[in-house]
Amino acid sequence: MPSGRTHDRITLWNLPAVTVLSLFVTKSSELTLIVSGGFLFSGLMLSPDLDLNSLPFKRWGWLRWIWIPYQKLVRHRSIFSHGLVIGTTLRILYLAFWAMVVGGLGVMVIALLGYTPWSWQDLAPQIARSQFQYRQEYIALFLGLELGAIAHIVSDWTTSTYKKLLKGSQKSQRTRKVLPKKKKKTQRQSRHRP
């Protein structure tokens, strides 16, 4: 498995290719920025390795505590952390949960202080409307986040496969050296045996 710095390099080296490809496909600088930003954020902050005490985990600074329950619930390299689409979706939903908790607490504090310029009834339709109004942007963001996770997963898989192949090749070489060579029987040895 590559180190955290190697994953960072892979993210940064692939960022120009992702940017050019998304600009070619979308023909939109806005969507390209969203895809590229999502790719960069996924590679550096929303990595499949958030289930470990990793560089992306440490980058969350004083907010890293929100990922501790995730680490306890999700086994490393499981389908829930390193699965295509599933891993990214789970991390997005997990982060959205915490955003709703913090946002809900903020709204409650504001309401208790009497500074409520809007209510929950006003907020819900706006959120629903934004999902339809900015549908392309949401899709572009998800694709960028997923591409960042794919770059991570492919590098993990490639490195692990290479190490297994290398280990298997070294093991077979060691086995050849350890096994004693069979002696050829000469005619004299075979005649003296009953």
pLDDT averaged over consecutive 10-residue blocks of the chain (194 residues)? 78 96 96 98 92 92 95 89 92 94 85 74 82 94 96 86 76 59 59 53
- pTM of the predicted model as reported, rounded to 2 decimal places: 0.77
pLDDT of residue 109: 84
CA 92 from centroid of its chain's CA atoms: 11
Does a structural domain hold residue 184?
no
pLDDT of residue 104: 83
Does a structural domain hold residue 185?
no
Number of structural domains found in the chain: 1
Does a structural domain hold residue 146?
yes
Does a structural domain hold residue 177?
no
Distances (CA, A) of 190 to 42, 113, 183, 184, 193: 72, 103, 12, 10, 6
Residue 2 makes CB contacts below 8 A (sequence gap 6+) with 10, 155, 156, 159
Does a structural domain hold residue 12?
yes
Does a structural domain hold residue 187?
no
Does a structural domain hold residue 166?
no
pLDDT of residue 167: 76
pLDDT of residue 184: 61
The encoded tokens of residue 52 equal 């470990």
Does a structural domain hold residue 186?
no
With beta carbons less than 8 A apart as the criterion, state whether 102 and 126 touch.
no
Structural domain for 102, as ranges: 4-161
